[in-house]
A and B are shown apart, each in its own frame.
Chain A
Amino acid sequence: MSTDREQVLSEFVDAWTAGRRPDVDDYLARVHEADREELAAELTAFLRFAPTPEYSDEALETIRADPIVAEALSAAGGRAGLLPALFMRLRARLGLSNAEVAGELVQSLSLPADRAPKTASYLDRLERGELEPSRISGRVFDALARVLRVPRSELEGAGDVGGWAAPAAAFRATDEAADEAAPHLDLLARGLSTPGAAARDEVDDLFLGGR
């Protein structure tokens, strides 16, 4: 004789395969409390390698409209890719503020403690999507991975998804273009040759120097 648990598992398998989008919670609720943990393990064992059902157009639309999916896809299409969203989520889960992450980061990178505020400001920029992930050094990814306790490859991967891939510029110069651009270029050259108020330091190199 099969048990209730075996029947419920099998019915989940059938519902999954038919694309009816079964929910684990509904099936766990159908068995006695004492059987739930084992059924949960069996359901996840099935889900690991279950063939993806052939979803209808309607089902796919419903999945895309799920707030979790919509938020993630929107983040992936953002200017700085997925890294800001993932960083914020990991930081929030650990209950850490940016200042606290910066404090741990500074320690992990063997930087002087007084660099923590500047590091925190870079983390703020990262969260706002104002920092290009490809400019962040591998050492920062290593340290962030330790602080946030996730594999470095996932953080780097999040930085590599979408964003910052600027389209190729297309110029069509008129005859007067050179004369019109010249004053702007002069101004830009003067700006670049003028020493800044604060010298670039190690923190800048870590967040802007690239991998």
Chain B
Amino acid sequence: MPFEPDHVLLGKFVDAHERGDLADAAEYWERLAVNNFDRVKNTVKGFRFSAGGPGIPPDEHGSAASEAFLRVIAMSAAFRKRETGRFYAALATCVENACRDFGRKELRHQKRSAGSLDRTYEPDGEAGPFDAALAAYDADLRRQTEEALEAEAARQEAEGLVAWGIARIKNDTYREVLELTYLHKLSGEAIADRLAISLDNVYQRRRRGILELDRILREHRS
């Protein structure tokens, strides 16, 4: 099966659901999951329970990635959005929840223990870390529609949550490097050439921009 980008597969997945073709929907979601397996596996390896704290022990990376990947496939039952940014937000929430759950391993048989690793799950009551940014993003899209700026709304919808987040980075130089990294998918060298800056500058701006984008998408409050 040749590669198809995530936004194409998401669109086909939602279309298949809308026409009641669950077999096709399952196939498209399976391909989305395969496309994103490296994201899942690497997120598990890089996950830390707290800033600067420990992660999942290396000998448990495989088990944690297996559980996370199963949970990503299970997401298909409820996920019906067409946009990749929303999909990545949901996927990150799901994988990071799975990682946190591994931190509770030692707490087995201890019910309702306190502590940051032991957030109690209420059925369907879990708020994701990206919910605030998504809500603000939705509100912006709605406002634009209400103001009859339909062309602008359509453009934003196409570019998605990530472009929306990048546009909110205040530092022009970080924002520029992130646009070229995420939206134009240029390498560090190509960005250095395009902006006539040193590679060292690209490295710095990329790192700071990535952290700023993450902060905007995680902590946004309207």
Contacts and interface: CB of A to CB of B under 8 A. Distances in A.
Interface of A: 1-3, 5-7, 9-11, 13-14, 16-18, 21-25, 28, 37-38, 40-52, 54-57, 60, 63-64, 66, 68-69, 71-73, 75-76, 82, 85-86, 89-90, 93-96, 104, 141-142, 145-146, 149-162, 165
Contact of B51 (A41, A49, A93): A41
Given A46-B210, A160-B77, A10 B188 contact: yes
A43 B88 contact: no
Interface stretch (B37-45, B136-144, B149-157, B167-175): B37-45
A95 B92 CA distance: 26
B121 A151 contact: yes
Contact of A158 (B52, B74, B214): B74
A142 B123 contact: yes
Contacts of A6: 200, 203-204, 206-207
A179 to B, nearest CB: 37
B57 interface: no
Nearest to B85: A49
16 contacts: A1-B200, A2-B204, A6-B207, A13-B206, A42-B211, A43-B42, A45-B211, A47-B46, A52-B84, A60-B1, A60-B35, A89-B63, A149-B120, A151-B121, A151-B123, A156-B77
Nearest to B102: A93
Contacts of A21: 38
Contacts of B73: 72-73, 76, 82, 158, 161
B77 A41 contact: no
B2 interface: yes
B80 to A, nearest CB: 12
A3 B66 CA distance: 34
Contact of B65 (A5, A25, A68, A93): A68
Contacts of B2: 57
Contacts of A155: 74
Contact of A153 (B36, B41, B124): B124
B134 interface: no
A138 to B, nearest CB: 8
B75 interface: yes
Given A6-B207, A17-B181, A72-B73, 17 more contacts: A2-B201, A6-B200, A14-B189, A18-B187, A22-B42, A41-B46, A43-B46, A48-B88, A49-B88, A60-B3, A63-B37, A69-B69, A86-B67, A150-B121, A153-B124, A155-B74, A161-B74
Given A18-B187, A68-B69, A40 B48 contact: yes
Contacts of B161: 49
